[in-house]
Structure 1
């Protein structure tokens, strides 16, 4: 009997995960399927029960469920415990175990390009589950400091507290108050802004020529955030 997998979130139509995993299954000649499963915010508990009923073997989690999903797990690995968010779940006869590969997934492209985070000043836009993994990665690589810009200050404050607990100097500001981009060596968008071709949350005025700009939104490839950065750099 074949195995079944999914990615859950909302929105979910943008996700390339079903195509990527399905291609991998075909290449490896595995009898497995992988689908996108939309679970709106506020309906996660019911969605998880539905996945259990169909005996899904595992699933990935994307926006907006990475933090809330933690409370529905029976077991967590060390990565989830440290980060406080989950992006991968294995279902073993109804027992859900969570993992987080977001930190390594964030760091890998930088390492491949020989980009050093050590002693850098970072601007992080967003304060959700993906942002928590990014903060953990930035702390691991010994950045000098991070400014967290978010629409909801409470969430930014919570993430700032997390950053400081793991040894990273952190400050908080509203997205609309972001300025003095010349102060930053790395600028990261960790929000869903761009999934639906929304305008960049910042203007990039004053950004240094060698500043690294990183967008976790991968579809579309050229978000307005990336386009604006290229115009300035």
Structure 2
């Protein structure tokens, strides 16, 4: 069942969920960030991303999770890819891109090159990089770059183990398009992943498969 909850109702609704002992629930926009102050606990990934999409009731204690990054990493594992020690070129720093970057850093990626246009999400990318470099335990290094710098993007892909598209390019209304300009940017040993799951195969995975790359879509998220 679904409930439409106004901002001023969040606290009362959560109190009702506690009384009813509901096991858990999902959270959608615009409440993913606004629910944070009313939860008893949030996971490190949810805290770093600043958004919750799943809440679990543990004996009256409401714990918030962000499952986007968890689902992404699980999707890689189910395809035989371990993020541990891997270098990643990540395109996009919105909600999905932020969750992917943070979770991959937590799970042991060695380096993440984050590419984004210079918009409001670029500032978010800078914040994510700062969190990865200074707050997350481990040795992951993150840097932020302009996605319009195609030469730097191409060279970063060339030194990465995983290329991830976390932009909307490839889905409606940008179906049939790809940020990667030419399949010559790709090589067979590169893992190419896309957070998009509708359509199930965008142009980027098609390009990847044409040169022998393993391609993974966003169904895991």
**TM-score, reference length from structure 2:** 0.69
Partner of 1:140: 106
Taking the aligned partners of 2:191 and 2:169, their CA distance within structure 1 comes to 18
Taking the aligned partners of 1:60 and 1:200, their CA distance within structure 2 comes to 30
Aligned length: 186
1:138, distance to aligned residue in structure 2 (A): 1.6
Taking the aligned partners of 1:140 and 1:99, their CA distance within structure 2 comes to 14
Q: Which runs of 5+ in 2 are unaligned?
A: 213-221
Partner of 1:72: 35
Q: Which residues in structure 2 correspond to 1:25-44 (within 5 Å)?
A: none
**Secondary structure of 1:5's partner?**
coil
Indicate the structure whose relative CO is greater, using CA pairs within 8 Å and at least 6 residues apart.
Answer: 2
1:125, distance to aligned residue in structure 2 (A): 0.9
Taking the aligned partners of 1:45 and 1:213, their CA distance within structure 2 comes to 39
What's the CA shift string for 1:8-42, capped at 9, x where partnerless?
xxxxxxxxxxxxxxxxxxxxxxxxxxxxx8xxxxx
Inter-CA distance 84–171: structure 2 relative to 1 (3 Å threshold):
same
Runs in 1 of length 4+ with deviation above 6 angstroms?
A: none
Taking the aligned partners of 2:81 and 2:179, their CA distance within structure 1 comes to 24
Partner of 1:34: none
1:188, distance to aligned residue in structure 2 (A): 0.7
Q: Which runs of 5+ in 1 are unaligned?
A: 7-36, 38-43
Taking the aligned partners of 2:129 and 2:93, their CA distance within structure 1 comes to 9
Partner of 1:201: 179
Taking the aligned partners of 1:45 and 1:228, their CA distance within structure 2 comes to 43
1:121, distance to aligned residue in structure 2 (A): 1.3
8 Å CA contact 1:86, 1:129 repeated in 2: no
Taking the aligned partners of 2:54 and 2:100, their CA distance within structure 1 comes to 16
Matched, 1:121 2:87: yes
**Secondary structure of 2:178's partner?**
coil
Deviates further, 215-224 or 106-115: 106-115
Partner of 1:160: 129
**TM-score, reference length from structure 1:** 0.66
Taking the aligned partners of 1:150 and 1:135, their CA distance within structure 2 comes to 13
Greater fraction of residues in helix: 2
